[in-house]
Amino acid sequence: SLLLYRNRSYFCMLIFYTATLLNLFVSSIKLFLDSLFLYIKLCLLQIEFHFFLVNQDAFYYFSLSNVLD
């Protein structure tokens, strides 16, 4: 009876341990993808801001030329 209980508890531990590892793996993938998505958004924001700074002089020139006409 004790041997059957021990085998059953080992079996349950194996099932729960496997489920826990799978859950941990899925959570780590989700965390990685969330971090990657945030990194991509920040890169795109930086590119847009850089584009704004580079073209700011041209925008100022065209707005000033309309006032002078």
pLDDT digits (tens, 9 = 90+) for 12-68: 888 888 888 899 999 999 999 999 999 999 998 888 887 777 777 666 666 655 555
Which tokens hold the place of 60? Answer: 């100022």
Which tokens hold the place of 52? Answer: 């704004």
Pick the closest to residue 46 from 16, 69, 38 (CA basis). 38
Task: Tell me the one-letter amino acid at 44.
Answer: L
Which tokens hold the place of 54? Answer: 């580079």
Which tokens hold the place of 22? Answer: 């799978």
pLDDT of residue 40: 92
Radius of gyration of the chain (CA): 30
